[in-house]
Amino acid sequence: MIDFHDVRLVDVSRHFGRRRAVSHVSLTAASGDIIGLLGPNGAGKSTIIGMFATLVAPTSGAVTYGGQPARVLGGELRASIGLLAHELYLYPELTARQNLAFFARLYGLQPSAAVGPALSAAGLADRADDEVASFSRGMRQRLALERALLHRPRLVLMDEPFTGLDDAATEVVRARLHALSADGAIVVLATHDLDLADGLVTRVAVVRSGRLVADEPAAPGLRARYRSMVGN
Amino acid sequence: MKKLFVPLAVATAAMFAAAPIAIAKADYESTMLLVQKIFYFHFATWMAMTLAIAICGVASVVYLFAGSKIADWYAVASAELVVVFGLFGLFSGSLWGRKAWGVWWQWDARVTMATMLVLVFLGYLMVRKYGGPGSEKLAAAMGIFGAATAPFVYKSVDWWRTIHPQTTVMKTLGEKWPGAWYLVLFCSAAFVLLTVLVLTARVHLEAMRSRLDDMYLAAED
Amino acid sequence: MRPGFVAVALLVLKKDLAIEFKSREIVYTTLFFAVACVMIFSFAFVMEQGVPVEGAAAGILWIAVAFSGTLALGRTFERERYSETLRALLLAPASRPAVYAGKLLGMILMMTATEIVLTPLVAFFFHAPFFARPLLLAALLGLGTIGFASVGTLFAAMLVRTRTRDVLLPILLYPVTIPVIIAGVRGTAALLQSPPEEPVATLWIGLLTAFDVVFLTLALWTFEPLMTE
């Protein structure tokens, strides 16, 4: 398994035709960090997450993992990356257990060992054999989170992980993320909800129209500080 | 290339001006007489089309695997030429077929396969136009598959014998009828030169478009 | 232990089969569509005394297979588009060509199921001796299916994020697979002659094999760059 202790975006840009999605962004995330990628919808947060995940190639600039680009590290790099995207990546026709077992096998894990704990962590042990199509958004979100973390990735990428979660579930996820970063994971969290990011993130990166307009350690009171920048 | 462009354009124009005269003066073929003379342009246009297909195929591979923008310009330019020369080839072939064999269209191997190639590269152009962002890559896939099937078009006549002249006709033409052979070469050269010229101009257009896009993006910075 | 190429392909295939098994939606609707195709074409080609046009059987079989195959391709990848699960497959450390191979196997199975239903049906409607040389016919259908499915799976996958994918898939797929269809139809037609023209059919089988090798190699080679943004 390939391991690294920091991920860097070095002056990356990405454009689609004439539309600039990301413009000259440089960002470093290290082991133990929880980077909050804040910004309004359409700012480019998802594209940046996609670049971290190796799914989107920048049109200029470089993305390095422990100093090496993805090209050099090859497919094995993806075993150290976990992504919880907005679309959730779950098969609605399969049960929760089947979804987890499939992805466990795909990542080379033993389903018997990995699926049970993941189901408990998601609080879905009693609904394990129900089809995902019958789940609420919150339940799917919890399951998708566990799916993303199944293989204990070094780089944890989350795009709006709190969508559809009630307060209790939100707390569980926050605790989970704290535990992950304490364990040495690199967490990058994209959200437009400043209140939820408060007290959770260690570093704040504000994105607006594809540009990084702020990049500093987090301090209490995110809403007050960044409300104007994020333009809520 | 810029310096050569005008002289080459003049040379090509001269060749195209001379060709009809040379064709008119050429000997008649024994069975088809006057009608056979379409062959000189008909064959030449297929030469041009084949060249364009080869360029598109190679350019598509380079674009897909190396991400080279310039390769993409060559790919789209040559794809357009494939369609243009292909349609002219089908048109001239249809005229010839009508006069020589009495039918406007015949579903023989080569006509079918040639039509198929035109459709593939029309598909190339369609996906570029209607495929949304990132469609250059999708089109490159079409270019690669189109170019890969082209060799089968050439050989298909040998396997599927119908009224179309077989590949052996061209190979022995040099010995049997040198006058026609040189004329064929002359016309083919003219068409190939035309391909190169139009390709250059079209690639230049794409280069300008790309510069414009870059300027738009730079203006936002 | 990271799963190897074959393991990943089979994993993807089993997953697709598991999903399909639950509702059997794609299988039933595709089969029904294929039968409807055959019916429509048959009506179009039947002559005055209710006798079908000679030689139409081979063509109708292959057209129905192609049309229903295209439909199945669209539906299968629509499933992967729904929660962007195709992206999740690409995100895994698994080899991308292996993911393609898994999808391809599923497609081949689907098309084979269609052919198993359609061939006797067409034989029945057209009084055509499809089973005079069953092995040669199976070879033709099998190789033709592989050729069509290999290009189809690639194109359907690459179009997954395109807005106009529904109409672009046939536009792109049919011209490229014309050689496969022609070879299949001409080979089948040769087998339907009395007596069956075996050398001709064998010739077309050889050609189909060549196409399959070329198409499959190209597809495996270009899948990864096509699927990454």
pLDDT digits 0-9 by tens, A56-93: 888 889 999 988 888 888 888 999 999 998 888 999 99
Between B165 and C95, name the one with better pLDDT: C95
**Least-confidence region, from B167-176, B181-190, B193-202:** B167-176
B positions 56-85 inside 8 Å of C (CB): 64-65
Question: Any residues with CB less than 8 A from the CB of B43 and at least 6 apart, and which?
Answer: B170, B184, B187, B188
- ipTM for the predicted complex: 0.90
What pTM does this model have? 0.91
**Which residues are registered as beta bridge partners of A206?**
A38, A214
Nearest residue of chain C to residue A78 (CA atoms): C93
Confidence check: pLDDT of C163 > 80: yes
Q: Which long-range contacts (CB under 8 A, 24 or more apart) does A210-213 make?
A: A210/A20, A210/A21, A210/A22, A210/A23, A210/A25, A210/A43, A210/A44, A210/A47, A211/A23, A211/A24, A211/A25, A211/A44, A212/A25, A212/A26, A212/A27
Q: Residues C130, C192: contact at Cβ < 8 Å?
A: yes
Distance from CA of A60 to the nearest CA of B (A): 12
Give residue C220's pLDDT band: very low, low, confident or very high (50, 70, 90). Answer: very high
CB contact under 8 A, B142 and C176: yes
Going from N- to C-terminal start, the domains of chain B cover 2-220
Between B165 and C88, name the one with better pLDDT: C88
Overall average pLDDT of the C193-200 stretch: 83
Residue with tokens 């001409």: C186
**Least-confidence region, from B31-35, B89-93, B97-101:** B31-35
Edge-to-edge strand list for the sheet holding A60-65? A19-30, A6-16, A60-65, A68-69
Residue B188, amino acid: S
Task: Choose from A124-128, B108-112, B140-144, C128-132 the range with maximum mean pLDDT.
Answer: B140-144
Per-residue model confidence (pLDDT) at position B19 = 81
Per-residue model confidence (pLDDT) at position B1 = 61
Q: Residues B77, B136: contact at Cβ < 8 Å?
A: no
Overall average pLDDT of the A136-145 stretch: 90
Structural domain total, chain A: 1
Per-residue model confidence (pLDDT) at position B163 = 45
In a domain, A1, yes or no: no
Could you say which of C172, C182, C211 has the minimum Cβ distance to residue B142? C172
Per-residue model confidence (pLDDT) at position A52 = 93
Per-residue model confidence (pLDDT) at position B168 = 57
Pick among B120, B121, B149 to test the C interface (most C CBs inside 10 A): B149
Residue A50, chain C, CB below 8 Å: the answer is yes
Q: Residues C3, A108: contact at Cβ < 8 Å?
A: yes
Residue C97, amino acid: P
CB contact under 8 A, B221 and A24: yes
Per-residue model confidence (pLDDT) at position B175 = 62
Q: What is the pLDDT of residues A2-56, one digit of tens each?
A: 888 999 999 999 987 778 889 899 999 999 999 999 888 888 898 999 999 998 8
Identify the CATH number of the domain in which residue A19 sits: 3.40.50.300
Question: Any residues with CB less than 8 A from the CB of A19 and at least 6 apart, and which?
Answer: none
Could you say which of A56, A75, A91 has the minimum Cβ distance to residue C93? A75
Q: Is A74 left (phi over 0), alpha (psi -120 to 50) or beta?
A: left
First to last CA, chain A: 41
Per-residue model confidence (pLDDT) at position C60 = 92
Overall average pLDDT of the C38-64 stretch: 82
Give residue B113's pLDDT band: very low, low, confident or very high (50, 70, 90). Answer: confident
Question: Any residues with CB less than 8 A from the CB of B3 and at least 6 apart, and which?
Answer: none
Distance from CA of A230 to the nearest CA of B (A): 19
Closest alpha carbon to C145 in C73, C42, C78, C198: C73
Residue with tokens 């069956």: C196
Per-residue model confidence (pLDDT) at position B98 = 84
Distances (CA, A) of C154 to A187, C10, C102, C215: 34, 18, 12, 10
Residue B134, chain C, CB below 8 Å: the answer is yes
Between B169 and C189, name the one with better pLDDT: C189
Confidence check: pLDDT of B166 > 60: no
Q: What is the pLDDT of residues C165-181, one digit of tens each?
A: 889 999 999 999 998 99
**Least-confidence region, from A100-104, B77-81, C49-53:** C49-53
Tokens of B26: 């050429």
Could you say which of A16, A18, A24 has the minimum Cβ distance to residue B216? A18
Pairing of strands A155-159, A203-208: unpaired
CB pairs under 8 A between A and C: 77
**Least-confidence region, from A116-120, B81-85, C212-216:** A116-120
A60, containing H or E segment: strand A60-65
Domain extent for A97:
6-230
Per-residue model confidence (pLDDT) at position B133 = 82
Closest alpha carbon to B33 in B99, B111, B105: B99
Could you say which of A16, A17, A20 has the minimum Cβ distance to residue B220? A20
CB contact under 8 A, B220 and A16: no
Give residue B198's pLDDT band: very low, low, confident or very high (50, 70, 90). Answer: very high
DSSP three-state, residue A115: helix
DSSP three-state, residue C98: helix
The rounded percent of chain A whose pLDDT value lies above 90 is: 43
Overall average pLDDT of the B107-129 stretch: 89
Q: What is the pLDDT of residues A192-220, one digit of tens each?
A: 888 888 888 899 999 888 888 888 888 87
CA atoms within 13 A on the CB side of B27: 10
